[in-house]
Amino acid sequence: MKVISYPQLVMNEGGIQVQKGMNFAIKKSYSIVLMSTEKNAPYNDSMLEDGVIEYEGHDAPRNDSYNKKEVDQPIATKTGTLTENGKFMQAADNFKEGKREPALVKVYRKIRKGVWVDMGFYDLIDGFNKFDGKRNVFKFLLKPNTNEIDENPDYIDLLHNRQIPGEVQREVYERDKGECRICGSKDNLHFDHILPYSKGGSSKVATNIQLLCARHNLQKGAKFQ
C-alpha cells in the first residue's frame, strides 16, 4: 500500500504511460486498472467485504449523437472488436467456466491529483451487467491476490491495509500533509494502522490510520511482534 506519484507508477510498469482506466493484458502476465476516489470520479467503484473491489466498466467513447453517461456500456465496437469491458468479461466468464485461472490485475488508486496508491495484485473472479437505474453498466469483482503475502506472518494486517477505503486514504494523506508522521519524509510513504487490525484496530476511520515512511513503517512492525 505504497503512496506513489504518476512518474513512479510509469517506472513501476517499465515505462508504460498508463492512461486508460482499463488495460487488459497490457503486460505479459497481468492487466492494469486505474481507479479514482477523487470527488469528481467518473465511475462508481466500491469496496465490498474482505477487500473485494467492485470495479465499474467503462463508457462508450464520447460522441455528439448521445450522452455517454446515458447509453449502455458497450461490450464491443460497431465492427465487433471487444472493448476493454468485453475483454475483462471474456476473461471472467472463462474463469467461471473453469477454462482458465483468474486473470491477474494490478490496481492503482488515485486519491488526489498526482497522488496514487499501489494497491497490489487482484484476481478477476467475476463480471456481470447491472442496471444502475438509468442504463446497463459492467461490474467486475477483483479479489485481493494473496500469493505474495500468504507466507508473511503479518498476513492479516497486510490484507487489512488493502481494505482502507479511498476516502480514508485521501483524508489521512491531507491531514498528514503527505509526510511521514515521525520524520517528515515525503518518500516511500505507506498507510499504517496505528493500532493493528489484529489487535482490534479499524481500517475504516482516519483516526486509526497514519502515513509512515518505509523505515518507520518497518520499525513499528517490529515493535508489535
The interface mask with Zn ion, positions 133-172, x = CB under 5 A, is ----------------------------------------
List the one residue from 71, 159, 182, 214 that touches Zn ion (CB under 5 A): 182
Q: Is there binding between residue 181 and Zn ion (CB under 5 A)?
A: no
The interface mask with Zn ion, positions 101-140, x = CB under 5 A, is ----------------------------------------
Residue 202 CB, shortest distance to Zn ion, in Å, is 23
User: Which long-range CB contacts under 8 A does 153-160 form with residues at least 24 apart?
Assistant: 153/225, 154/221, 156/197, 156/198, 157/193, 157/196, 157/197, 157/198, 159/51, 160/51, 160/193, 160/197, 160/203
Which residues 6+ apart lie within 8 Å of 1 measured at CB? Answer: 117, 118, 119, 120, 161, 162, 164, 190, 191
Q: Is there binding between residue 189 and Zn ion (CB under 5 A)?
A: no
Residue 213 CB, shortest distance to Zn ion, in Å, is 3
Q: Is there binding between residue 3 and Zn ion (CB under 5 A)?
A: no
Within residues 72-91, the interface with Zn ion by CB under 5 A covers none
List the one residue from 183, 194, 195, 205 that touches Zn ion (CB under 5 A): 183
Q: Is there binding between residue 190 and Zn ion (CB under 5 A)?
A: no
Task: For the chain, list the strands marked E by DSSP.
Answer: 2-4, 22-23, 31-36, 46-47, 53-56, 103-112, 115-131, 136-144, 189-193, 209-213
Instruction: Write out the residues near Zn ion by the rule CB under 5 A.
Output: 180, 182-183, 185, 213, 216
